[in-house]
Structure 1
Amino acid sequence: MSRNPFKPTAGATPPVLVGREPALEELDEALDDGAGSPYLLQFVTGARGAGKTVMLTEMGRRARERGWIVVDETATPGLLTRLTRAVRHHREQLGSPDRSRISGVGLNILGTGGDVRMEGAPREAPDLRDEIGALCDAMDRHDGETGLIITVDEIHTIRQEELDELAAIIQHLIREDRSVGLLMAGIPQAVEQMIADNAQRPKVSTFLRRAERTVLEHVPLADVAAAFQQTISEGGRSISEEVAWECARATSGYPFMIQLVGFHTWRVGREGPVTREHVTQGRAKARKRLGELVHAPALRDLSAVDRTFLTHMSVDDGPSRYADLRTRMGETPNYISVYRDRLIRAGMIQPSAVHGHVEFALPELRGYLREHAAQLVAEVNEDDQG
């Protein structure tokens, strides 16, 4: 029996990274160009499940293939300390000396001929900027053609003081023409809000605004169908073009759903040609898992009013009008605007192409909310009583 080639695990790299080649080619060129290339400083943004973590992983892999040192991190407390330790580790592996201590000097005491070596007091431990500088010096001596790439996932959750320091450090290193890159991933609206919140810190705000944006949108269905055919064929099974399109339509072009539909469709049949019946059953299982893995955790992070807002949106079969939401919730326009903006920043909804409307940013969220409306209302009531 052939092994299932699909990988519906958060952050796991799929066998085929569908629809992301243009952005990856831009990074490839940046790595070849070296210091000063604009795509060495960028935000990778997209909705939950759009493949931001996967994209950072693939970017790091490509950088390593070209001889760059890569440090991967997530914006949790202590980020700068962990980065400093990781950079120091790579510097030591290259054989670069620790410059935090001053070498001793040989002295002849009272003409006795005895040479006593005295070591100076240790300097303060090097900070991240010092460590990256020392690492870049060592890499310059090594080949002079590569450098350091730092990837930071969930950048919108970073603590303000660490963001200020990280931005200042990378900015100084770029000014020094160091071969260093900073690739950051986060939810688009939250990233933009993070930058806007730094408007009172002109140096940080201006620097971050100059970063390139790579927005991971839904993948064209033609590319998805082709990826299903390629992945299933390379996995040792067959699928017709028509059935591959059935798989593609079941995903709505949503990257995480591509892996979920593929994984469960493969499991239904396990061997032999993939059929429409396999896709029908696979999609049902994929929708259930999407709710458990993406929708439920995202909703748990929201307030009771946020969840109420979304539940009222789920009544509509398409984009929701602000006026209808005000009526259903019995609230003022300002009240609705506050929670609309909160949910946009959280990556749960987005402005619709139709003026005065909003729509869900995540696929299948409407169906999930409808199926779990009673449970969500009960949770809201519990929160109110609490």
Structure 2
Amino acid sequence: MSAKVFGVGGEVDVVRSAAGSVAVPLDEALSDAADAATACGGGLVITVDELQLADRAELANLAAVLQQHVADHWPLVVAGAGLPSLRERDRTVTYLERGEWHELGLLEPADTREALVAPAADAGRPMDEAAADVLTRASGGYPYAVQVLGHHAWRASHGQERIGVVHACAALSAAQRDLSAGLYASRWNDASPKEREYLAALAHLPEGAGGGDVARELGQPTSGVSYLRDRLIKKGTLFPERGALRFLVPGMARWIREQADA
């Protein structure tokens, strides 16, 4: 591994012998870590991302270890993040159900604007209000889209004192290319042919359409395609909101329509 900034850097070679490695049971590993943290007068924080992809048996093992050692008062906090479908899918892991669940959802417009404007100001290149309006609307409140749009607006304004509308507009097309090659395409490629038909039908309906509307668009009874709806929600491609079905990633409906017209 190496790193270099302005011509100054360093390099480290790390060699790990697979033959000499031994898998340590989770119970033992957490016990040792908790003991070490206690001895130092500190604590331990474990963060796990993409929990919806975790194997149910692995989650059950983690829950069992945590429950077993409650009486030991480990200085331990476990924080996990995953798609909304996680809670329904892993309802049988009852001990984890006792934790504090916080549904974050999409960012509100005010929070989205703050996420765009504050870092730019802190870095010495403030963002105009009109530029922030453009990027806020385009992001749809989706955190990753906010990051991508802010990144490209910063790059487009290189050498300027402020980030203006012209830079925000340039960021829209650049961010669209990134999202198309990444989030949109990956979700589309992960869908089965039937799931793609369902997504395409939803993409061509007005915003606010629900599962029944999609079924009618496909010429099927709602019960005949409800399994597709459920699968796409569990995958994190769609999410239900007050009777409507929405794409989790803003802009994907437009991308699907463009693919169909291409």
**Normalised by the shorter chain, which TM-score bucket?**
0.7 to 0.9
TM-score by length of 1: 0.57
Matches within 5 A, 1:1-386: 127-143=25-41, 146-189=42-85, 191-196=86-91, 198=92, 205-272=93-160, 273-353=162-242, 355=243, 357-373=244-260
Structure 1 segments, 4+ long, off by >6 Å, are none
Letter aligned with residue 172 of structure 1: Q
Deviation at 1:268, TM superposition (A): 2.2
Preserved CA contact (<8 Å) 1:173 1:180: no
Q: Deviations over 1:139-197 (max 9, x none)?
A: 32332xx22222222222222322221210111122321122222221111x123323x
Q: Which whole-Å CA distance do the structure 2 matches of 1:236 and 1:374 have between them? A: 43
Distance 1:141 1:351, change over 3 A: closer
Unpaired runs of at least 5, structure 2: 1-20
Q: Which whole-Å CA distance do the structure 1 matches of 2:129 and 2:216 have between them? A: 47
Percent of aligned pairs with the same amino acid: 27
Q: Which whole-Å CA distance do the structure 2 matches of 1:254 and 1:295 have between them? A: 13
Deviation at 1:374, TM superposition (A): 5.5
Deviation at 1:134, TM superposition (A): 3.0
Deviation at 1:297, TM superposition (A): 0.7
**Larger CA Rg, structure 1 vs 2:** 1
Unpaired runs of at least 5, structure 1: 1-81, 86-125, 199-204, 376-386
Pairwise CA RMSD: 2.3
Preserved CA contact (<8 Å) 2:131 2:167: no
Q: Which whole-Å CA distance do the structure 2 matches of 1:188 and 1:168 have between them? A: 23
Distance 1:294 1:147, change over 3 A: same
Deviation at 1:305, TM superposition (A): 0.8
TM-score by length of 2: 0.82
Letter aligned with residue 257 of structure 1: A
The count of corresponding residues between Structure 1 and Structure 2 is 241
